[in-house]
Structure 1
Amino acid sequence: MSANTHTATRPTFAAKFAKTLALFLPGIFLLGFNIGTGSVTAMANAGAEYGMSLLWTIVVSCLCTFFMINLYGRFTLVTGDTALQAFRKHIHPAVGLFFIIALTAGVCGSVMGVMGIVADICYEWSKALVPGGIAPIYFAAFFVALVYFIFWNGRTQFFERSLAVIVALMSACFLINFFILMPPPVDIIKGLVPNLPEVNTTSGKGPFLVIASMVGTTVFSGLFIIRTTLVKEAGWSLADEKKQRTDAIVSVVLMFVISAAIMAAASGTLYAEGVTLSKASQMIGLLEPLAGAFAASIFALGLVAAGVSSQFPNVLMLPWLLCDYTGAERNMTLPRYRIMVLLISLLGLVVPIFSARPIAVMIISQAFNAVILPATVACILYLTNRRDLMGEHRNSRFANSILVAILLFSLFTSFVGIKGVIELLPR
């Protein structure tokens, strides 16, 4: 009897695994948000244009991202306020509204571009199975319906667990590709040294817009704002500060590994052959003769997983921001939120229907994301130095110096991003 009771109360492996996974679900959610087709496009484009010479940009971006994720999360642990609540109460309601409008506009552009790229990739991939391939619109409609179906369940934990599976698939695909296609190790090591490569003679483009798009897709303001919501919903307090930091470290380390793997795959194949990238679906056709059908298929699967993983937080962004700002319960089963998410999801059909160039949409979108970053840094710099909010947990001089450095870096990338976008506009 006693032995049976002991066995019954012993945690099962599944229960232990579920408990361990729950510790990292907020970080996995951010990873899925961050590594979408925009990130894949930016990293692959950088690898094809400049090899591994811009790897240092990923390192700097990931360090900035960790610092900001940790700082925003810590702010919520100390004050109990999410970012938008703090902006509204402690700065000005207009600041909160600015972030809602700016982030929603960026997300709408991202939804169009992401689904356009995913549909384009699947179309190219399907040519090997069906003569002439399956039209992109069918793939776009399928993935839009899939994401909306998962959203319909309405529970954040279900989103996070679904996302964990897709992120695991994406990570495995890009890491396998890295080992198949990796460039010489010496090139990887050299890429860690900050430098500005010369203008690519094939494309005629300088590295600045590429750097801005890489920074824009990695150091993304939406990550930090949503992070505070996830921390609050997880029920973490100051006693969980170590747990919060560990979760952020895991998220950012995986972010770096996956981003570097994508850059390395493009560097080891496209850059080595002197081939530039004009659209993401080219990766499939270009990789196959250079690295074989298996590597091309694995990369395609990773791209699709990246696109679908980023669509979850993309379509949820607006209702979550509104709930945050108003302090309302985050009940995604309410009709107004379901209609809102449906309308945003349907934007994913725009690119396949109108045959737009998703690669250009994504690069410009990511460059614009860098523009709102300075405001995100400035706001947390102000809030985390207020004694009435943070008390003894105010920023140290070291933390403030890092924040100022990130602010200056973000202003530089914003300038470069705007300049690069202007250069791309028709004259």
Structure 2
Amino acid sequence: MPFPCGVTSRRGGRVGAAAAAAAAADQEPSTSSAAVRTVTVYDLSDRVVDYEQAWAWQKALLARAVASADAGSPRGARDCVLLLQHPPVLTLGAGSTLDNLRFPPGSPPVPLYRTERGGEVTYHGPGQLVMYPIVDLQALRPDLHWYLRQLEEVVIGALDAVSGLAGQRELGLTGVWVEGAKVAAIGVRAKKWVTYHGLALNVVTDLAPFGWIVPCGIEGRPVTSVARLLRERQAAEDPFAGDALAQSAATDGGAAPDMLPLAEASQDDLRRLLAQAGASPLMLHDAGSTAPPSTTASTAGGDGAYDPWADDDPFAASLSSLPPPASPTPLGGEALGAAAAAQGGAAAGGGAGAGQQGPPEVPGEAGVAAALGLRHRWSPAEALLLREYACALLEAFEGAFGVRLVPGDPRDLDDLA
């Protein structure tokens, strides 16, 4: 249970739960309550959690929060935040077009999900911190644009606190950029003003898989990570650091010098790599459909019935123009589990070596990272950077929303229906 952090960032700022009082003074939420609201945080930032598991937790926490409000409990009484990492997956927004996939839709290189969130296609993987706030905006400020800007502020604050990086917004777009490259993506949904889905910050993420897609549907704009930005800054400040930085950058794209660069791999190459690990690519169709995800999703949910959200989803500006949300349906999960078992505890070929460490392998999707040679184990310095950014994101969340985070026991998530 890593939270609370109780540490000080590299730039001298507080990182952790200590910022709540100052946050309340710096930013006044829409409510006039004198007491600072508390939000439970489930900090799994040092773990790689299968996407479907985290998605199920979000749905259960969302249902619990909505039921609590419907029963007359104070709005926001069940607010919480999940912070974690994912194995390699690609996710589509509710209205995402397949035009932003750079592979045949029926043959994805890694698991592919169509979700309910807004936005276009994005990639999640080890080394990327993903924050899922389940918060009631009626208890904060029932304003879509305000919420998105505050999530951006969370990332901007963390970048500055830990590394002194200047995160920026782009007019008309959602997310955070540094020097023209996107470092964090944001996509959300809400039911009865209770949010889910959230933000993803590339910290030490292997960036090669972003070459499979047009990230967030924005053509011609690079994606970056904190680690890459810090290397670039060091190179600019120290012209003699080039050799060491080049060695470090060799694994940023997911391949060691003697391995096939992942960004250049063909579909046959990817299938061969997965076959060697005893796995096959996973395609997640919309529930109730045998066709690949498309811009027109099935109107049936997992139980064959779809409950329209038109009356309770403030994030759906025009639901008539969007496909309805659908639960992802996994195909071939047994093969992926076999891949993870085949990998054992072996380090990834793309960046593992002496002195490197990381979370233990987990069953399911996590075997895909090792099968494709993607980095998923970190040096002590990289592991520390991940921890610092986990703490900084939590502190920045407190400041942006004027709340106080209290630690929750991640084991409680297993009890969710």
- The TM-score normalised by the length of structure 1 is 0.22
Q: Which has the larger radius of gyration?
A: 1
Q: Which structure's relative contact order is higher, taking Cα pairs within 8 Å and 6+ residues apart?
A: 1
Q: TM-score, normalised by structure 2?
A: 0.23
